[in-house]
Amino acid sequence: MLSAIVAAGLHSNPKYWPDPYAFKPERFFGEWNRDAFIPFSAGSRVCLGRRFFETEATAILALLISRYRVTIKEEPQFAHETFEQKKARVLKTKHALSLTPVRVPLVFTRRD
């Protein structure tokens, strides 16, 4: 018999993640169930590239942030929105095979 854990189902299970579809990075601060988040699988079948990806992603993000100032593009139709409205708009996603941003209008300005 073959059994498998569907990571997307586990990652959106309200038993482990209250309000699972909300963007709440603070949920990973402090105590949380480490077995309920397996983006690279787990155990003997864990992704071999996990550490490479984590190191590479950290290096690229650090390089981008050190060389560029990243801001959200100002658009006239959104001039009067509150911080919460802007946050909801920028973090909006569509659920497909992976979690995909709908539209993230970012501006990268070279630092001096």
Q: What gap in Å lies between CA 107 and CA 74, rounded to an integer?
A: 9
Q: Which residues are annotated as a binding site?
A: 47
Tell me the binding residues for heme: 47
- What the block records as the tokens of 112 is 């001096």
Measured CA to CA, the distance from residue 92 to residue 28 in angstroms comes to 20
